[in-house]
Amino acid sequence: MHSKSNKSRGFTLAEMLVSLIVGTLVLGAAVDIFSRSMSAAWVVSQKAEMQQDARAALTLMTKDIRMAGGGLPSGGVALPFGAGVSPAYGMDYTGIGYLGANNNAGINFPTQNVNGSNIPYLYGAIPGWQAGITLNAGQGPTDIITVAYADSTLPLQDYQVQFNNTNGTSVTFTSTNAGDKAVNDPGVGLQLGDLVLFQAQIGAGANATTGYAIADVTAAAGAGGGPSYTVQFANADALKINQTAATSGDLKQIVSNVGAVAQSTIATRIWLITYYLWNQPNPAGGAPIPVLMRQVNARKPVPVAENVVNLRFTYDTYDDSGNLLSATGQLPNTVSPNEIRGINIAHLTIRSQLAGAKTSFVATKGYQSFDISTSLSARNLSFSQRYQ
């Protein structure tokens, strides 16, 4: 006689509960490991992006700063004076300002006391200590820096200069070299808002001097193949550099001394470049995005890098004995920008694009940041060897 054996045909409730608990623990551990891995990957990618953006911005800034003063007269260039109007930078050709606490203003050029008059000057380096927007109340307003140097892409110095009126508001440039770039070249030609430095020999013999004047392009040369191109430097430009009523420092003074055409008159485009921070409106709403901006002459500014939250500079100035007079962002009243010997980017701070979430790996929710600094010796400013 055969008896049937009772075999198990499933899991008991206890076994199911044990399996469920073990599976939940394994799944939880896997989820935690995945979350940690994603957080770590996010941190690494954000750091890499920050470093790349910061170094790209630093590279562009250092190239401009190292050129400060190149091709400019030693001691800077006097700007128009005597008409009761102060030349200012940080404006575009439409009259819109971008500097100051609210990114809506221009800044007057620094002045130099000459025979009792405070004459505005364009220097190779112009500090802007705490002249920018405030992003961190504890740190105070951010800095601005402006540098100027001669352009080497458009050979205006090869062109003959002809002044078409006694005020110098219309100038014709005629090429003397068939290989020169055209003044109206779409890539490197003069544009609306560009600055041109004119220098001419005034007088003759032992009494000869060199006169300088800067003018702002208010209408670029029209279409045509040259060799002559007419450019307008009309009165009351956005930077208030074209002042026909000025008693010194304007283009009219050059014309009155050299006449309509003078072989000794040389024209050179100069770059006046300002770096500052701008609060860009956030297209997604919320807080604005801090952006490092670069403005050239009176052209429209362009962005360099987003999420730059701090910009600070210090400057080294020395006396004739090599003693350090100032290594701060704000120059003493007794020190002129012409005495700057070294420019230090004290803080170029960039933050991550997004704030990290609070997880078991990231303790707090917030932005990552990357701060970079360097010390520069502009090749066209005087040098002082302090490490002896």
What is the number of domains present in the chain? 1
Q: What is the pLDDT of residue 234?
A: 96
Rg, C-alpha atoms of the chain = 31
Which residue do the tokens 């601005």 mark? Answer: 144
Q: Are 217 and 190 in contact (CB under 8 A)?
A: yes
Domain-located, residue 38 = no
388 assigned to some structural domain: no
9 within domain boundaries: no
For the whole model, what pTM was predicted?
0.85
> Domain range holding 67?
51-376
pLDDT of 388 > 50? The answer is: no
Residue 203 covered by a domain: yes
Q: Is residue 201 part of a domain?
A: yes
Other C-beta atoms lying within 10 Å of the C-beta of residue 218 = 19
Q: What Å distances lie between residue 108 and 37, 138, 326, CA to CA?
A: 53, 27, 22
Residue 300 has pLDDT above 80, yes or no: yes
Average predicted confidence (pLDDT) for the chain: 86
Burial 33-62 (b: 16+ CB within 10 A, else e): eeeeeebeebeeebeebbeebbeebbebbe
In a domain, 264, yes or no: yes
Angle at 259 between CA 221 and CA 162, to 5 degrees: 20
pLDDT for position 42: 57
Selection from 239, 258, 242 nearest residue 250 by Cα: 242
CA distances, 276 to each of 20, 142, 204, 242, 349 (Å): 60, 8, 44, 25, 13
Whether 55 is covered by a domain: the verdict is yes
Residue 276 has a pLDDT of 98
Compute φ and ψ for 59, nearest 5 degrees: -60, -45
Residue 111 pLDDT > 50: yes
Q: Residue 26: inside a domain, yes or no? A: no
Average pLDDT value for residue range 133-156: 94
Specify the pLDDT at position 287.
Answer: 85
Looking at residue 68, its pLDDT comes to 94
Q: What band does 7 get if pLDDT is binned at 50, 70 and 90? A: low
pLDDT at 385 over 60: no
